[in-house]
C-alpha cells in the first residue's frame, strides 16, 4: 500500500473527488524564534479553499495523522508521469 512518508511527503497527496489532503510546512513567530519548522496537514477543496488544517511539530507525526485519516483516499505521486489529453500545456 502506498502512503505518504518522510521521503515522499513533498510530492505525494491523497485525493477524493474535489478534495486533496497533503502536508506542507511553515512557521509562526514562536517557531521562527526557536528556529524550527511546523508541518501542516491540510485539506483543500478544488485546490483553493482550505477546509481543514492541523499543525504538527514533527514530520513523522504529520505523516502518521495524514495516513490514518486520509489513507483510504486515492494516493497520488505528483512526480509520476501523466498520460492523456489533460496533461498537455493547453489545459
* pLDDT tens for each residue of 24-54: 999 999 999 999 999 999 999 999 999 999 9
- Closest to 20 measured CA to CA, from 60, 66, 54: 66
Please count the structural domains in the chain.
Answer: 1
Q: Compute the distance between CA of residue 54 and CA of residue 65 in angstroms, rounded to an integer.
A: 9
Using the predicted structure, report yes or no on whether residue 5 has a pLDDT greater than 50: yes
Residue 24 lies in a domain: yes
Instruction: Please report which confidence band the pLDDT of residue 80 belongs to, taking 50, 70 and 90 as the band edges.
Output: confident
Query: What is the residue range of 69's domain?
Result: 12-75
Amino acid at each position: 500500500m502506498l502512503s505518504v512518508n518522510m521521503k515522499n511527503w513533498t510530492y505525494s497527496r491523497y485525493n477524493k473527488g474535489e478534495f486533496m489532503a497533503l502536508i506542507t510546512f511553515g512557521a509562526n513567530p514562536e517557531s521562527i524564534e526557536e528556529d524550527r519548522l511546523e508541518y501542516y496537514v491540510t485539506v483543500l477543496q478544488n485546490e483553493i479553499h482550505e477546509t481543514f488544517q492541523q499543525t504538527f511539530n514533527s514530520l513523522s507525526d504529520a505523516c502518521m495523522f495524514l495516513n490514518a485519516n486520509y489513507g483510504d483516499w486515492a494516493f497520488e505521486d505528483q512526480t509520476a508521469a501523466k498520460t492523456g489529453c489533460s496533461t498537455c500545456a493547453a489545459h
